[in-house]
Amino acid sequence: MGKAAAARKLASAAAYGGGGLSVLGAALYGVLATEARLAKQAVGPIREEPPPDPTGWYGRGRPGPALTMVLLGDSSAAGYGVDRPEQTPGGLLASGVSETADRRLYLRDLAVVGARSSDLADQIDQALPLEPDVAVVLIGANDVTHLVPPSASVRYLSEGVRRLEDAGCAVVVATCPDLGSVKPIASPLKEVARSWSRRLAAAQTIAVVEEGGRTVSVGSILGPEFAAEPTVLFGPDKFHPSVEGYRRLATVLLPSALAAFGLAEDEGDRLESQRGEGVLPVTDAALRAVRTPGTEVDGTEIGGNRRGVRGLWVELRHRRRRTDVEGEAPEELEERDVPAHDGTAVEAGSGTGTGTD
């Protein structure tokens, strides 16, 4: 089976409730199960304390109406391993959006360490009352390491994106990272993990765009760059990003988060063919996206039609990274009021939830 057919099969299985093991097949699934157990034994000690919570207001003194963003997903969204809120992906993204928009922004970080795609429903239950403008989702790695059938992973993600989009919230999903970059996984099984995660990322892309969201590939930012600088970009446990790793992750996500807010800075609606951008069928775009970090895939129309003979039409973009991303700490607790739908504020609730991996 070719890569395009494999991605289509997995996305279709997710959409229609299929329960097959995966596009990799039962034999390789079992191999990965063994390797995952060995890799988890090689991972460094788990930190007991939860990640710092970046929930709060950003952009002190900037005008309104306020923007609202929620961050959903697993430890990569929560910023496991860092020490300060401004070092987390949420703090970096909220700071970047607020600065670019020149508006105040309220961030609610609902990501949970150890979360899988099946846990998104609970996080979305907490997010929807805030009526967020944009939701950023990072999910998938724990589905692989916990051997969740990919069809189930993609189905949970698809349902979550549908709920958010139906509520008027734009969705940006960072697809499954390249687990072949994780040092404790040894070759040749490293290549199995890489293949698994890339195919899951392609299927996530198809499912998310079908539901109206957009995706950003992060596999390679957690791949070749991490392999070249593992002591800089991986944290002490050899599995999660370091402070610098999270910062580089934020440089990939920020341009697409800005686009979801309608704040794409200097690119407008132009697609630059010399940069590999263009309008493609969704499966072709999904397979290209997993090979290049920061590739955004979003739905579009041709002649008023969302679909062609080869499926959904999408735009594939390589948005320019924001290398100047600097995080700021959220305002103090007594000022962290939750924005109401009209841009005013009401009393804040609790911060992010955390668990164990």
Residues annotated catalytic, as ranges: 75, 237, 240
Q: How far is CA 231 from CA 17, 221, 238, in A?
A: 41, 15, 9
How far is the C-alpha of 87 from the C-alpha of 354, rounded, in Å? 17
- β-strand partners of 345: 339
Residue of 111, 113, 142 lying closest to 47 (CA atoms): 113
213 phi/psi in degrees, rounded to 5: -90, 180
Which residues, 6+ apart, have CB-to-CB distance to 203 below 8 Å? 7, 10, 11, 14, 23, 150, 154, 286
| Contact between residue 180 and residue 223 where contact means Cβ atoms under 8 Å apart | yes
What type of residue is 120?
L
How far is the C-alpha of 146 from the C-alpha of 237, rounded, in Å? 18
Angle at the Cα of 164 (from 160 to 168), degrees rounded to 5?
165
Q: How far is CA 8 from CA 118, 156, 311, 341, in A?
A: 21, 17, 10, 38
Q: What tokens appear for 279 in the block?
A: 């309008």
Question: Which SS3 state, helix, strand or coil, does residue 317 take?
Answer: strand
Going by DSSP bridges, is the β-strand pair 311-318/307-308 parallel, antiparallel, or unpaired?
antiparallel
Cis peptide before 65 (omega within 30 of 0): yes
